[in-house]
Every structure is written in C-alpha cells, then in structure tokens.
Amino acid sequence: MKYFSLLVCLLCLFSCKNNDKEDIDCALFDPFIANLFIKLVDSEGNNLIENNTFIANNITILFNGNTFTNVVFTNVPDLENLMALNLIGVDGNNLFEIKLSDNETDSLIMNLTTESKVCGLTFFKLNSVTYNETIQTLENFNGNYMITVVK
C-alpha cells in the first residue's frame, strides 16, 4: 500500500504542467500604446492651437509615407489643444513631419527602443525627442510622455 501511495503521489507530482508563463489570447488583448503629447506655446506660455495661431483641424503629421489627420484633441478635457503621436516606428531615430499650416512644417525626431513584442504589436520606450533640431525635455503625462515646444 505504501508503494501504491508513493506511485500515485509521484504520478501527480510529475504530471502537473508548469504554467508560470501563460500564453496571451490575442483576441482578448487590449493594448496600451504609449503616446507623445505635444503642446505648442509662445514665449509667454499661450497655447498656439488654443489661440488659433494654428488651426487644429489643419494640422497633419507625415511619417513613412503616411499622413495622419485629426492629431489634435479638441473636445477632451485635460487633452484639449494637444497633439498626440503614438510611439510607432523602429529602433533608433524616427522622423515625423508636422504640417502646422500651408506655410509651416516642423520636424520631430523620436528616438525609440523596443521594450516588447506581443500579439504582433511592438511596444517602444521613448528615449529622446528632438523638435526642429532642439532636444526637448520629456515630461511624464499620466503614463505617457509630453513635450512643451516654445515657438
């Protein structure tokens, strides 16, 4: 009887599966992709989108041959008059062209490092941002990033 009990215990012990790392069901996966928020201000701190120096609906962002529209939040409290960019690209420097008006286009370089890849999505860490050849200070903005650009 001792041997039978020992055999049952060993069978239970070695037949258990180790699920320390569970697979993610990509159908249920809701990704949080970090954003870079951009606040454009004048030398006195006035928001240049809020005072209509730049018209929110006319601002577009070009990246890798793609044009992104509706990049300015206009009706979301705490985000109003901020531009938003998802952290997308490749490891290293990624050039974005920000068309503020027909006459003015700025350049933004995001330096990214891959943090992880899950369900076909790549998640990046933002290392630095250069706006019109000026290195910007990154601020924590509710788990995202924000820069304030003085124009």
Q: Where are the domains of the chain?
A: 32-150
Q: Spell out the residues 6+ positions from residue 105 whose beta carbon is closer than 8 angstroms to its own.
A: 97, 98, 99
Q: Which amino acid is at 101?
A: S
54-78 residue pLDDT tens: 999 999 999 999 999 999 999 999 9
Distance CA 118, CA 142 (A): 22
Residue 100 CB-half CA count within 13 A: 19
At residue 21, φ and ψ (nearest 5 deg) are -115, 100
Say what the pLDDT of residue 31 is: 75
Cα-based angle 75, 77, 78 (whole degrees, multiple of 5): 125
pLDDT for residue 58: 97
Which residue positions in the chain have pLDDT lower than 70?
A: 1-22, 29-30
- 58 and 146 in contact (C-beta within 8 Å)? no
Q: Would you state the pLDDT for residue 6?
A: 46
With contact defined as beta carbons under 8 Å apart, do 37 and 145 qualify?
yes
pLDDT of 118: 87
- Model pLDDT, residue 1: 54
Position 38 scores a pLDDT of 98
pLDDT of residue 3: 47
